């Protein structure tokens, strides 16, 4: 009897040690990634990185044009994705109960959310780049927007569902139309959560590389024209990380550090700034 | 009179409401059309590959831009093996983390560790690729591979698996990077479904004198099995389609071999690497699109399974 109890305790202790070890390994991986990024990246950090554009090796190049390109493309993508994502999310939450069309849309949005991002790049290439014969920043924005929409849809729907029905009823009782109730009451009540979704979409877009490979292509010079190839941080990192020149690799690290810290900062703000929300 | 006014105001209301609803439905339809367009363009673009090479495209082990013959087997094999390695390595990591977070973690520390794991999930995939290239690859080339070839190099079957020049590229390195990448996703789902186990059940088991492991093994796991599998499949779907994290460390070779340490390719890495050299209208581009179509089907299937399993418990 006591030997059996001892065996059970031993098994439990093994499981405990195992789970602590596994948690430790996961934390170690995160630490290793951050340490690698910061220790490599900080060496190349200077004003030059954010002031000078990309350039040939040994030319005191920076990443300024890639930073600006990323901002432009992410901004345009957000302008495209936010109304569609919000509209779709509102539709699913407010009109989508027991509706076949809505459940199909919900499923499809989930499929898009987990679709391999490189395929989104291929799709936009076939639809926007191949017919016009030209890689463009706009095509890159569209590809990023396709990534962002399902994130916004998901959080918008989830957050609207948390708004109590009594609030909608109160609005309706005051004689407000359904769209007024939805926009001025439900959406306003759900605003922090909806904003969370949009911010998470921004974070996701700013690190994505694969959808941009075949759409905005990248550009070594300043590029502000959305109808031409445009530089971006992830593409610059991809190009420079595999290069044989030391200063290019250094720039890739610094860029990777900047992007990652930016993305993590958004995630931390979302987690602590808006209270605890599941996303 | 009042009745009339009510009716007219109701009419006006319902018209503006109708417009609103139609606008929203258009947004929803746009999402539907996007995926439809994605699947259809991929399928149409890929038809030429299937016409030229027949259904054998799927299982032919050749990828030769010189003779212009293409088959999907090598990249599909690479995708399959890296995904299996990734899930197999991520599983204990994710389970251990979720187990610790839900049953042992002191609240404050658990909160911090939970956040850290979430942050790992937010790291862009290209960063995992760089980290794999500059941290994991050298470790594989310098330590793991020489160690394995030295100790297992003469064992009959295992020899084939560890065989290869110590470059550090290959299926194993890709699988390891994928594992680190998908662990936080699987862990997050596992934590949620473990938490969803009715506390009454767990506390009853504890009351009967069960240890933490016994409660996990005999109460929580059976209760949340569908959700756990759903989480694993979700992670698998991510690993299947991942591009950047793998492209850096896979080695770019379209050969099928026994060795896990020889350069290879996955569907996604092959598309990323070869697309720039595939002119519009070429049979090579068609083959890449056909590969993309197959990948889309795989990703679609894994998501459908995951949703089915995850709904069972939450609904």
Outline where B196-243 has alpha helix (H).
199-207, 212-215, 221-223, 225-241
pLDDT per residue as tens digits for the range A229-277? 999 999 999 999 988 899 999 999 999 999 999 999 999 998 887 655 4
Angstrom distances, CA of residue A69 to CA of A57, A138, A254, B120: 20, 11, 17, 26
Residue in B45, B234, B302 closest to A126 by CB = B45
Contact state of B31 with A150 under an 8 Å Cβ cutoff: yes
Task: List chain B residues with CB under 8 Å of A237.
Answer: 126, 130
Alpha-carbon span B142 to B222, nearest angstrom: 42
Contact state of B104 with A40 under an 8 Å Cβ cutoff: no
pLDDT per residue as tens digits for the range B62-101? 898 888 889 999 999 999 999 999 999 999 999 999 999 9
SS3 readout for B38-86: HHHHHHHHHHHHHHHHCHHHHCCCCEECCCCEECCHHHHHHHHHHHHHH
Cβ partners under 8 Å of residue A258, min gap 6: A41, A49, A63, A67, A233
pLDDT of residue A274: 63
Alpha-carbon span B5 to B12, nearest angstrom: 10
Q: Beta partners for B63?
A: B70
Superfamily of domain B46-314: MetI-like (1.10.3720.10)
Q: Are A232 and A218 in contact (CB under 8 A)?
A: yes
Alpha-carbon span A169 to A163, nearest angstrom: 11
> Is A130 strand, coil or helix?
helix
What ipTM goes with this model? 0.92
- Identify the CA nearest to B113 among candidates B187, B178, B192: B187
Best mutation target, B5, B122, B230, to test chain A (most A CBs within 10 A): B122
Alpha-carbon span B144 to B253, nearest angstrom: 21
Q: Are B262 and B163 in contact (CB under 8 A)?
A: yes
Q: Which of residues 42-61 of A touch B (CB under 8 A)?
A: none
Residue in B96, B124, B268 closest to A260 by CB = B124
| C-beta neighbour count of A2 within 10 angstroms | 6
Q: Are A94 and A172 in contact (CB under 8 A)?
A: no
Contact state of B295 with A119 under an 8 Å Cβ cutoff: yes
Q: Beta partners for B70?
A: B63
Task: List chain A residues with CB under 8 Å of B124.
Answer: 206-209, 234, 259-260, 263
Residue A224, phi then psi, degrees to nearest 5? -115, -10
Question: What stretch of H or E contains B118?
Answer: helix B107-122
Alpha-carbon span B72 to B270, nearest angstrom: 10
| DSSP codes joined into one string, B139-192 | HIIIIIHHHHHHHHTTSHHHHHHH-S-S---SHHHHHHHHHHHHHHHHHHHHHH
The answer to whether B181 contacts chain A (CB < 8 Å) is: no
Say whether pLDDT at B292 is over 50.
yes
The answer to whether B218 contacts chain A (CB < 8 Å) is: no
The answer to whether A246 contacts chain B (CB < 8 Å) is: no
Which band of pLDDT confidence, cut at 50, 70 and 90, is reported for residue B157? confident
Alpha-carbon span B202 to B179, nearest angstrom: 30
Cβ partners under 8 Å of residue A81, min gap 6: A144, A145, A146, A148, A149, A152, A201
Task: List chain B residues with CB under 8 Å of A203.
Answer: 122
Which band of pLDDT confidence, cut at 50, 70 and 90, is reported for residue B13? low
* Burial state string for B39-77 with b = 16 or more CB within 10 A and e = fewer than 16: bebbbebbebbbeebeeebbebebbeeeeeebbbbbbbb
Cβ partners under 8 Å of residue B105, min gap 6: B113, B114
Alpha-carbon span A236 to A219, nearest angstrom: 8
- Identify the CA nearest to B250 among candidates B113, B127, B132, B162: B132
Alpha-carbon span A237 to B248, nearest angstrom: 12
Ranges of residues in chain A whose predicted pLDDT is under 70: 1, 274-279
pLDDT of residue B54: 87
Contact state of A22 with B100 under an 8 Å Cβ cutoff: yes
Q: How far is B142 from chain A (nearest CA, A)?
A: 18
Count of positions (residues) in chain B: 315
Best mutation target, A27, A98, A126, A185, to test chain B (most B CBs within 10 A): A126
Angstrom distances, CA of residue A24 to CA of A31, A110, B98, B105, B117: 10, 32, 12, 12, 11
Q: How far is B24 from chain A (nearest CA, A)?
A: 5
Alpha-carbon span B91 to B101, nearest angstrom: 15
pLDDT of residue B163: 80
Alpha-carbon span A67 to A258, nearest angstrom: 10
pLDDT of residue B312: 59
Task: List chain B residues with CB under 8 Å of A179.
Answer: 16-17, 20
Least confident of A78-92, B3-17, B275-289: B3-17
Best mutation target, A8, A9, A66, A115, to test chain B (most B CBs within 10 A): A115
- Identify the CA nearest to B45 among candidates B279, B221, B246, B292: B292
pTM: 0.92
Q: Which of residues 15-74 of B touch A (CB under 8 A)?
A: 16-17, 20-21, 23-32, 34-35, 37-38, 41-42, 45
- DSSP assignment letter at A42: G
Alpha-carbon span A141 to A139, nearest angstrom: 5
The answer to whether B301 contacts chain A (CB < 8 Å) is: no
- Identify the CA nearest to B221 among candidates B205, B188, B197, B199: B197
Contact state of B303 with A114 under an 8 Å Cβ cutoff: yes
Q: How many helices (H) and strands (E) does chain B have?
A: 15, 2
Query: How do beta strands B69-70 and B63-64 pair?
Result: antiparallel
pLDDT per residue as tens digits for the range B258-277? 888 989 999 999 999 999 88
Contact state of B31 with A105 under an 8 Å Cβ cutoff: yes
Best mutation target, A25, A116, A135, to test chain B (most B CBs within 10 A): A116
pLDDT per residue as tens digits for the range A186-219? 999 999 899 999 999 999 999 999 999 999 988 8
By CB atoms closer than 10 A (0-12, 13-18, 19+), residue A110 is: middle
Alpha-carbon span B115 to B299, nearest angstrom: 28
pLDDT of residue B43: 92
Residue in B27, B127, B275 closest to A33 by CB = B127
Q: Which of residues 98-117 of B touch A (CB under 8 A)?
A: 99-101, 104, 113, 115-117
């Amino acid at each position: 009897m006591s030997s059996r109890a001892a065996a059970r305790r031993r098994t439990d202790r093994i499981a405990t040690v195992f789970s602590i070890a596994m948690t430790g390994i996961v934390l170690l991986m995160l630490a290793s990634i951050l340490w690698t990024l910061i220790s490599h990246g900080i060496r190349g950090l200077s004003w030059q990185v954010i002031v000078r554009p990309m350039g040939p090796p040994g030319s005191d190049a920076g990443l300024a044009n890639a930073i600006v390109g990323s901002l432009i493309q992410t901004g345009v993508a957000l302008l495209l994705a936010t109304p569609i994502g919000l509209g779709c999310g509102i539709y699913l939450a407010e009109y989508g109960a027991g509706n076949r069309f809505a459940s199909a849309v919900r499923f499809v949005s989930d499929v898009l959310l987990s679709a391999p991002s490189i395929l989104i790049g291929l799709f936009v290439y076939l639809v926007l780049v191949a017919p016009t014969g030209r890689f463009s920043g706009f095509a890159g924005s569209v590809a990023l927007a396709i990534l962002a929409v399902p994130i916004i849809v998901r959080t918008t729907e989830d957050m609207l569902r948390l708004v109590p029905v009594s609030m909608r009823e109160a609005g309706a009782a005051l004689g407000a139309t359904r769209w007024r109730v939805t926009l001025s009451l439900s959406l306003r009540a759900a605003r922090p959560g909806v904003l969370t979704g949009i911010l998470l979409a921004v974070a996701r877009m700013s690190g994505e590389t694969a959808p941009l490979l075949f759409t905005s292509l990248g550009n070594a010079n300043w590029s502000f024209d959305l109808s031409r190839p445009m530089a971006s941080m992830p593409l610059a990192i991809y190009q420079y990380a595999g290069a044989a020149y030391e200063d290019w690799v250094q720039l890739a690290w610094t860029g990777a550090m900047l992007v990652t810290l930016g993305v993590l900062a958004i995630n931390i703000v979302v987690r602590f700034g808006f209270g605890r929300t599941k996303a | 009179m009042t009745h009339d006014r009510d009716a007219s105001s109701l009419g006006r209301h319902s018209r503006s409401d109708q417009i609103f609803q139609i606008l929203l439905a258009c947004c929803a339809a746009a999402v539907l059309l996007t995926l439809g367009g994605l699947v259809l363009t991929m399928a149409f673009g890929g038809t030429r590959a299937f016409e030229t090479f027949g259904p054998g495209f799927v299982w032919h082990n050749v990828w030769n831009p010189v003779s212009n013959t293409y088959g999907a087997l090598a990249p599909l094999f690479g995708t399959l093996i890296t995904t299996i390695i990734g899930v197999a390595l991520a599983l204990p990591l994710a389970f251990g983390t979720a187990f610790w977070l839900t049953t042992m973690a002191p609240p404050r520390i658990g909160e911090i560790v939970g956040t850290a794991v979430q942050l790992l999930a937010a790291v862009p995939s290209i960063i995992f690729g760089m980290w794999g290239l500059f941290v994991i690859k050298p470790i594989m080339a310098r330590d793991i591979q020489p160690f394995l070839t030295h100790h297992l190099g003469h064992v009959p079957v295992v020899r084939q698996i560890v065989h290869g020049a110590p470059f550090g590229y290959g299926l194993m390195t890709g699988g390891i990077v994928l594992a680190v990448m998908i662990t936080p996703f699987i862990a997050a789902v596992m934590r949620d479904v473990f938490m969803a186990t009715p506390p009454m059940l767990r506390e009853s088991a504890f009351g009967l004198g069960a240890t933490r492991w016994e409660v996990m093994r005999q109460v929580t796991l059976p209760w949340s099995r569908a959700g756990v599998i759903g989480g694993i499949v979700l992670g698998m779907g991510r690993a299947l389609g991942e591009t950047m994290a793998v492209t850096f460390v896979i080695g770019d070779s379209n050969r099928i071999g026994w060795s896990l340490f020889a350069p290879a390719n996955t569907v996604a890495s092959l598309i990323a690497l070869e697309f720039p050299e595939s002119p519009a209208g070429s049979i090579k581009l068609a083959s890449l699109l056909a590969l993309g179509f197959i990948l889309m089907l795989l990703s679609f299937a894994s998501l459908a399974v995951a949703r089915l399993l995850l709904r069972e418990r939450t609904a």
